[in-house]
A and B are shown apart, each in its own frame.
Chain A
Amino acid sequence: MIRAENVWKIYGRGEAKTIALKNINLEIEEGEFVMIRGPSGCGKSTLLNILALLDVPTKGEVYYKGRKTSLMSENKKAIFRRKISGFIFQQFHLIKTLTALENVELPMILDEKDKYYRRKRAKKLLEMVGLENRLNHYPHQLSGGQQQRVAIARALANNPKIIFADEPTGNLDSKSGITVMEMLKELNEKGITIIMVTHEQELERYASKIIKLRDGEIIEIVKK
C-alpha cells in the first residue's frame, strides 16, 4: 500500500549537513502493524513523517497505492491526511484553546461533516477511549495519558485506513502506555494499518513487522 524507494533525507548543507535517512527501501501492506524501531536520533521520526506525507524526501520516491506521491498536489495531500490517515504525535499536539470534544471534532470540521454527526461521533470516540467524563475539559486539565487518548480519538475521527504514531507512549507512564498500545492493537484487529515508531524493544510483541533503523539505514526487517 505504501512503498518507499531509495528515500534519502538530508538536512542542511556543508558543515551542518546531516544525513537523516540513507537509501530507504520498504513496503507496507494493508492490515500490517509495523514498528519502526531504533535508538534516538536514528531517523525514525523523519521516516514516519515522510511516509505519512507530512514531509518530503530529499531524494527518492514514496508511492501510495502505486502512485508517486511527489506528483500529488498540496490539496491531494491534505485529503490523504484528512481522510486516509490519522497521525498521533509523541507531544500529543492538541489545540490548547479547544476542549477535548472540539479537538476530536476538528478533523470532521475540516472534512465538512455536519454538526450533529460531528458531535455524536466525537462523543462516541471519546467514550471509546474512556473519556466520556472529560468532554469539556481543556488539554491542560487532562493528564498526559488522557491527552494522548484524546489524540487517538482525534486520529480516528474520519475513519482512517492507516494510523501513524510517533512514540505514542514516549511521554506516558507505563500503565497509560499499555492502555494506548492495547488500543492500537484493537484498531489493528479491526483492519486499520498501524505504522508506529518506538525505541522500546519490549513493544515489538505488538507488531507484525519490525523495521530496525540505525544511523538512517535499515539494518533489518523482521516479519512475524
Chain B
Amino acid sequence: MSILERRKDIGILKALGAETTDILAIFIIESGFLGLFGGVIGLILGILLAKGIEIVAHKMGYLMVNAYISYELIVGILAFSFLVGVISGYFPAKSGAKLNPIETLRGE
C-alpha cells in the first residue's frame, strides 16, 4: 500500500472523528508488525545461511567453523526490527495526523 493511499486513509479517519492518538496507535501497531514480520524473514534467511556455511565448512574439513545463534541474538533482532517498524510508522503518521482532514485528504 502506497504512502499516498495511507495519507488519504488518515484524512478519512480524521474526517470521521478519529483523535490523533487513535491514528498514531493504528499506524504504529501496523508498521511495528510489518517490521517484526521483516525481522522474522531476515532471521530465517540468516539462520539458513549460517547453517549452510557451517555444513560446507565442515565438509571441507574446517570443523571449528560453527554457526552460533544465541537466544539473546534472536530476541534482540526481533525487538530491533519491531522498533524500526514502529519508528518508520510514527513519523509519517504524526505529520499526517497534525494536518487538518482536508489538507490530508488532498494528498491523493
Give me the interface of A with B, judged by CB distance under 8 Å.
Answer: 49, 54-56, 74-75, 78-83, 87, 89, 93-97, 106-107, 110-111, 154, 158
**Within the assembled complex, what's the spacing in Å between the Cα atoms of A81 and B20?**
13
Known A49-B102, A93-B105, A97-B1; contact A110-B18, beta-carbon cutoff 8 A = yes
- Bound CA–CA A89/B15 (angstroms): 10
Find B15's partner among A56, A83, A93 (CB 8 Å cutoff): A93
A-B residue pairs, 6 tightest by C-beta: A82-B17, A81-B17, A55-B102, A54-B101, A78-B19, A107-B16
Q: Report whether A106 and B16 are in contact in the complex, using a CB–CB cutoff of 8 Å.
A: yes
The answer to whether A83 touches B1 (Cβ under 8 A) is no
Instruction: Give the chain A neighbours of B79 by CB distance below 8 A.
Output: none
Instruction: Establish whether residues A81 and B15, one from each chain, have CB atoms under 8 Å apart when the complex forms.
Output: yes
Given A54-B100, A95-B12, A97-B1, the answer on whether A110 and B17 have CB atoms closer than 8 Å is yes
Residue of A nearest to B5 (CB): A96
Inter-chain CA distance A204–B22, complex, in Å, is 39
Asked whether any CB of chain A lies closer than 8 Å to the CB of B13, the reply is yes
Which residue of chain A lies nearest to B18 when distances are taken between CB atoms in the complex?
A110
Q: How far is the CB of B2 from chain A (nearest CB, A)?
A: 11
Interface status of B9 (Cβ within 8 A of chain A): yes
Chain B residues closer than 8 Å to A89, beta-carbon distance: 15
| C-alpha spacing A80/B13, complex, angstroms | 13
**B residues in contact with A93, CB < 8 Å:** 8, 11-12, 15, 105
Known: A93-B105, A96-B5. A79 touches B17 (CB 8 A): yes
Q: Indicate if the CB atoms of A87 and B100 lie closer than 8 Å.
A: no
Q: Is the CB of B16 within 8 A of A55?
A: no
Contact: A154 with B16, CB < 8 Å? yes
Question: Given A82-B16, A106-B16, A110-B13 in contact, is the A56-B100 Cβ separation under 8 Å?
Answer: yes
